[in-house]
Amino acid sequence: MKIKMKKIIFMLVIFLIMVRPIYALNDGQNWKKWESRDKFYYLIGFFEGLRKAPLGIERNPVESSQEGIKAWDIKNKQVEERYYTGLTTENLINALDQFYSDYKNLQYNIPLSIHFIKMEIDGESEKVEEIKKKRAIYHKALKEIQRKSGEE
């Protein structure tokens, strides 16, 4: 029994060392530091997580009801509309690399950046710029509130 536990712990440590960059902050600055392999694994995990999330309804009797299942169907449709670009993983990696090549985009997390890429593919570039402007206004106001609350 002790040998099995030691093996499990050893494998867990090796696994954590291998995927260490995946658990770092997921913004553009970190994306640019990752190897292609890490980018690939991140995106595979991201999309697998989106795909398998509805399986959780089987564990919760309330969410397993017809209403819960309908809610998951609506949520899945929203996720699909927001993130599924129709690009291969390799092409999405290239698109994210290109997106993050603009220093102004380094602040955005990867899921939001995928959403921006999807919107651009769908011909909604103006909407992307509008969202970026609104986020900038929000963050500026938030910093001002934080600054003022620090003065009091």
Residue 10 placed within a domain: yes
> Which letter does DSSP use for residue 61 in this model?
T
For the chain (length 152 residues), average pLDDT per consecutive 10?
Answer: 63 53 70 94 87 58 64 74 85 95 92 92 92 88 83 63
Domain that holds residue 66: 2-121
Structure tokens at 90: 């390799």
What total of structural domains would you count in the chain? Answer: 1
Residue 143 counted as domain residue = no
In a 10 Å sphere around its CB, with 0-12 CB exposed, 13-18 middle and 19+ buried, how is residue 79 labelled?
A: middle
145 located within any domain:
no
**CB 19 within 8 Å of CB 41:** yes
| The pLDDT value given to residue 105 | 93
Residue 74 has what pLDDT?
A: 75
Residue 28 in any domain: the answer is yes
pLDDT for 77: 76
Answer yes or no: is 150 within a domain.
no
Whether residue 41 lies inside any domain: the answer is yes
What's the rounded Cα separation, in Å, for the pair 127 and 104? 17
Would residue 133 count as lying in a domain? no
pTM of the model: 0.68
Instruction: Identify whether 134 is part of a domain.
Output: no
The H-assigned helical ranges of the chain are 2-18, 28-33, 36-52, 66-83, 89-100, 110-121, 125-151
